[in-house]
Amino acid sequence: MQKYTLLATIQAFLFIIKKTITNKRFRLPSQRIKKCEVTFEELNLNKPLNGALADLEYVCPTPIQEKAFPIIMSGANVVGIAQTGTGKTFAYLLPILRQLTFSEQKDPRVLILAPTRELVVQILEEVRKLTKYSNLRSAGVYGGTNINTQKQMIYNGIDILVATPGRLIDLAFTGVLRLKLIQKLVIDEVDVMLGLGFRSQLISLLDILPAKRQSLMFSATLTQEVEAFITERVIYFQKIEIARHGTPIEKIIQSAYRVPNYNTKANLLELLLKTDPEISKVLVFVGTKILANRLSEQLDKIFPEQVGVIHSNKSHNTRLNALKLFENGTHRALIATDIIARGMDICDVTHVINFDIPDVPGDYIHRIGRTGRIDKDGIAISFVSPAEQQYINEIERLMNMPIRFEPLPRDLEISKVLTEEERPNILFEKTNRKEAPVKATQGAFHEKLEKNKKVNLGGPKIRKERYDKNGRPRITKKSSKTRF
């Protein structure tokens, strides 16, 4: 009897060990660790961060995360350049959260700036994933929502604030938000943040923030103008460049089609969606909000309840809902402007289609970076009109590699109908109307015609002599008649 009891106990103990090993959260290190030179456990992270990374099943840091961690921990200012989809958000969040400890003060100590409200929401989600087992407080503020709700949230106290520049300035001017205790400033997508649209706001914010702070700036591209501005405003910084400026991800397969006009582009997009089953989750980038609405209306008739649209004229809830429906697979395609071209991490995007080619080469790099994230492959397709060929040439020079052009499908309907934007401007074109002949003139000095000559037909004589012979003024009698 004792033998059977001991055997049952051993079997139960072995069963528990087996369950513990197969559980994802409690796997042994030898089973969790992938083949990588450095693991997150070797980065001297604390228990809350290690626990959060274990829940996310992250084991190996990316090159930008591995290289940036010790430099940021040292307190140096950093400018980080890495390809899209390489984990730049965690590259600055991990060292910041490693150094941030609990405090009862209400004013924020970490400020993260992002260009769009969608990116603010995404960064805030990443912060909350990593602070799952800590008591750090975080909040996001952006335009298009009730500012009074955000005031109350700030008044309650936060440690990490993620914000767009415009709403941040509005809150700072109200006096509710105080930025005197900011220790670390992060500018995400620094190249677009220092563009003409945000530069004046950023200069105002930099003057408000404490001089003694750590500045961290990250992006996939960095122009010479932006780098010169950073050099002027930041006294000293270390530049971390994992890939050369403008280098696309190698796992993204790029191709293009030469398409004559908008309607043919729409026909080509419809044909690809009908004939290629691998296009299961596609981002379609267009140049303007008008084209985004027009294209979504056309496709919605052919693919009902499969196409979403997002641009800056949409309300905040509409934009977030469009992203949600696209992420969970309800919508097969999402038509968007460049509002989500930067920094957005959307899972499992199979294709990126450039319906319009951006006139800024760096925007192309950001667009195609929405696919092929981290360790996955991606496909980028561009529709190039004759007027956009120069943009493609500039993009190829930036990437230092050509884009392969494919022949148009045989069953593609080539349209000759032009949109209003594509029609030529006829304002200054020649017309067939005959011009009025120019009559010969006699110049300015000529004899007047008989009908134009003035002739005195009589009337009251005007007295010109106002003085008499002796030089005294003449006295005239006033008329008794009064004129009305």
What are the beta bridge partners of residue 448?
A: none
Q: Read off the pLDDT of residues 187-207 as tens digits, 9 standing for 90 and up.
A: 998 888 887 678 888 888 888
What is the reported pLDDT for 361?
87
What is the reported pLDDT for 340?
87
> Of 289, 267, 265, which Cα lies nearest the Cα of 388?
265
What is the reported pLDDT for 195?
72
Q: Is the pLDDT of residue 99 over 90?
A: yes
* Domains contained in the chain, CATH given: 18-241 (3.40.50.300), 252-405 (3.40.50.300)
As a whole number, mean pLDDT of residues 258-278 equals 94
The whole-angstrom separation of Cα 4 and Cα 202 is: 75
Q: Is the pLDDT of residue 279 over 80?
A: yes
222 — pLDDT class (breaks 50, 70, 90): confident
What are the beta bridge partners of residue 310?
A: 336
SS (H, E, C) 38-104: CCHHHHCCCHHHHHHHHHHCCCCCCHHHHHHHHHHHCCCCEEEECCCCCCHHHHHHHHHHHHCCCCC
Q: Read off the pLDDT of residues 422-431 as tens digits, 9 standing for 90 and up.
A: 887 654 455 5
Q: Which two tokens stand for residue 6?
A: 């001991």
Per the CB < 8 A criterion, the answer to whether 117 and 319 are in contact is: yes
Residue 87 half-sphere exposure toward CB, CA atoms < 13 A: 18
What is the reported pLDDT for 285?
95
End-to-end CA distance of the chain: 141
Q: Is the pLDDT of residue 13 over 80?
A: no
- pLDDT: which is higher, 46 or 194: 46
Q: Is the pLDDT of residue 474 over 70?
A: no
**Mean pLDDT comparison of 152-156, 189-193, 345-349, 437-441, highest-scoring range:** 152-156
As a whole number, mean pLDDT of residues 105-130 equals 94
What is the reported pLDDT for 484?
41
Q: Is the pLDDT of residue 478 over 80?
A: no
Q: Is the pLDDT of residue 96 over 90?
A: yes
**Mean pLDDT comparison of 30-39, 99-108, 193-202, 456-465, highest-scoring range:** 99-108
Per the CB < 8 A criterion, the answer to whether 286 and 355 are in contact is: yes
What is the reported pLDDT for 459?
56
Q: Is the pLDDT of residue 464 over 60?
A: no
What are the beta bridge partners of residue 79?
A: 217, 239
As a whole number, mean pLDDT of residues 385-393 equals 94
- The overall pTM is greater than 0.75: no
| Residue 151 to residues 121, 158, 172, 175, 208, Cα–Cα distance (Å) | 17, 11, 10, 10, 19
**Tokens 């593609």 -> residue:** 412
Antiparallel, parallel or unpaired: β 404-405 and 378-384: unpaired
As a whole number, mean pLDDT of residues 449-464 equals 61
As a whole number, mean pLDDT of residues 17-23 equals 42
- pLDDT: which is higher, 357 or 220: 357
Q: Which two tokens stand for residue 472?
A: 């005294």
